[in-house]
Amino acid sequence: MLFNDRQHAGILLAEKLTAYQNGHALILGLARGGIVTAKSVANQLHLPIDVLVIKKLSSPQDREFAIGALAPENAEIIHWKDVQRSGADEIYVRHEAKRLSKEISALMAKYRKGKKPVNVEGKMVLLIDDGAATGASMEAAVLWAKRKKAKDIVVALPVISGEAYRKLRPEVSDVVACHTADVFGAVGDYYKSFPQITDEEVVSLGRG
């Protein structure tokens, strides 16, 4: 175990992000779990925070294995090699993508409670999650931030697989992590406590 819980991970991650403390950076926490870590970082660095809903597109054989991911406004990443390996096909992918896109829109509205989303155009954005195994969720978040014309994008994670690091690093200004592991199981393996996060918790943590 590296971290007691997501809050503890955020405190340790913030120590590696002090270079961004005095800038005009904005933190986006990936809901659900990532928002807890992101809020912890935001509290340490005194930076504004908002929530970004990302949904994993799961393998039909293993719901924990991501073959892609979607961000708001149809920003999607599909790992077609993994799709083929999982036994899925394009019909499955398109059906799931359509379903997840509707879920994302509904959740973004629910989490914001009528408040407008923050404008990331021209800003430095810190994208924070509680960890990355395949990296698909964070890839979708990066794609979304690029489409929104963020000036600089920094990916920050308590733990990341070597595979995900190699995918993400060329796409962003920096990838900051407390721990990189080439042999990687599940993100939760690195936490003593890794509970499910409720929608209510996301709402309470996601603005500030």
**Residues 31, 54: contact at Cβ < 8 Å?**
yes
Cα–Cα distance between 190 and 154 in angstroms, integer? 22
% pLDDT > 90, the chain: 85
pLDDT tens digit sequence for 155-179: 999 999 999 999 999 999 999 999 9
Mean pLDDT to the nearest integer, 175-204: 94
The Cβ of residue 174 has, within 10 Å, a number of other Cβ atoms equal to 15
Mean pLDDT score of the chain: 93
Confidence at residue 208, expressed as pLDDT on a 0 to 100 scale: 54
Closest CA to 49 of 58, 57, 59, 38: 38
- CA dihedral of 22, 26, 30, 32, whole degrees rounded to 10: 90
**Residues 27, 43: contact at Cβ < 8 Å?**
no
% pLDDT > 70, the chain: 99
Whether the CA torsion 187, 191, 195, 199 is positive or negative: it is negative
The Cβ of residue 65 has, within 10 Å, a number of other Cβ atoms equal to 16
Whether the CA torsion 117, 118, 123, 124 is positive or negative: it is negative
pLDDT tens digit sequence for 39-58: 999 999 999 999 999 999 99
The Cβ of residue 71 has, within 10 Å, a number of other Cβ atoms equal to 27
- Kindly report the pTM of this predicted structure: 0.94
**Residues 72, 55: contact at Cβ < 8 Å?**
no
What domains appear along the chain, each with residue ranges and CATH number? 6-53+116-205 (3.40.50.2020)
pLDDT tens digit sequence for 145-156: 999 999 999 999
Confidence at residue 205, expressed as pLDDT on a 0 to 100 scale: 86
